[in-house]
Chain A
Amino acid sequence: DTAVSQTPKYLVTQMGNDKSIKCEQNLGHDTMYWYKQDSKKFLKIMFSYNNKELIINETVPNRFSPKSPDKAHLNLHINSLELGDSAVYFCASSPGTIHEQYFGPGTRLTVT
């Protein structure tokens, strides 16, 4: 069974469109995350959710909105997509504040 899963794996869309990426974890973890990894490979934290509550919201554009329907799911919705949004987006989960993270396979978003 996949621990952290994301859909879709690839997403190609045009500027101005709205898209969503879904994430699910079956590890029973309390905290989930969204990361953006750009072409320079730097892993940048975007959001963190703990028990369905947003606990950290890094300085990302408000076009990005995380939504967590329950503890096992954290979706990422992006409005008005821009060329600079092209990147790989990783979902991750963690059991606690000092513990390791488990990453999903990533979603490669290409905005044309």
Chain B
Amino acid sequence: QKEVEQNSGPLSVPEGAIASLNCTYSDRGSQSFFWYRQYSGKSPELIMFIYSNGDKEDGRFTAQLNKASQYVSLLIRDSQPSDSATYLCAVRRGGSYIPTFGRGTSLIVHP
């Protein structure tokens, strides 16, 4: 059973702090890793993807992948109230058309 685990939260951080979101996965054949943001009442939107071990930075967002430990994380620097949303981790096995989603972590950034 392929699983992707996320802490449901909510994770509450003050404005300007670093928010750290974590995700673990069970399938060692996983090849690509994604973070989606979903605002309440809206559809998921891609914010980051990562394929290789290490860090990938895009603006205030950094994705970190450790395949040996089977976890992927998302750091949000200088968190803003507009970052308040549910963050979904998704994992795809090489050659698979079907990604596996976690249940999401709710992030609240308070002023």
Interface positions of B from 17 to 46, Cβ below 8 Å from A? 31-32, 34, 38, 42-46
- Other-chain contact of B34, A31, A50, A100, A106 (Cβ < 8 Å): A100
B73 at the interface (CB under 8 A from A): no
Q: Chain A: interface residue count, which band?
A: 20 to 34
B94 contacts A97, CB within 8 Å? Answer: yes
A-B contact count (CB 8 A): 54
A48 contacts B49, CB within 8 Å? Answer: no
- Other-chain contact of A42, B42, B97, B99, B103 (Cβ < 8 Å): B103
Q: Chain B: interface residue count, which band?
A: 20 to 34
A104 contacts B51, CB within 8 Å? Answer: no
B98 contacts A43, CB within 8 Å? Answer: no
Interface positions of A from 76 to 112, Cβ below 8 Å from B? 90, 94, 97-106
Residues of A within 8 A of B90 (CB): 101
Q: Which of B46, B99, B103 has the most CB of A within 10 A?
A: B99
A97 contacts B92, CB within 8 Å? Answer: yes
Q: Which of B31, B43, B90 has the most CB of A within 10 A?
A: B43
**CA A73 to CA B53, docked complex, whole Å:** 36
B96 contacts A43, CB within 8 Å? Answer: no
B97 contacts A55, CB within 8 Å? Answer: yes
A45 at the interface (CB under 8 A from B): yes
Residues of B within 8 A of A102 (CB): 46
3 A-B pairs with the lowest CB-CB distances in the bound complex, closest first: A103-B43, A98-B32, A43-B101
B interface residues with partner A (beta carbon < 8 Å): 31-32, 34, 38, 42-46, 49, 51, 86, 88, 90, 92, 94-99, 101, 103-104
A sample of 16 more A-B contacts (CB under 8 A), given A97-B94, A100-B49, is A31-B97, A41-B103, A41-B104, A42-B101, A42-B104, A43-B104, A45-B99, A50-B97, A56-B98, A90-B43, A98-B31, A98-B51, A98-B92, A101-B99, A104-B43, A105-B42
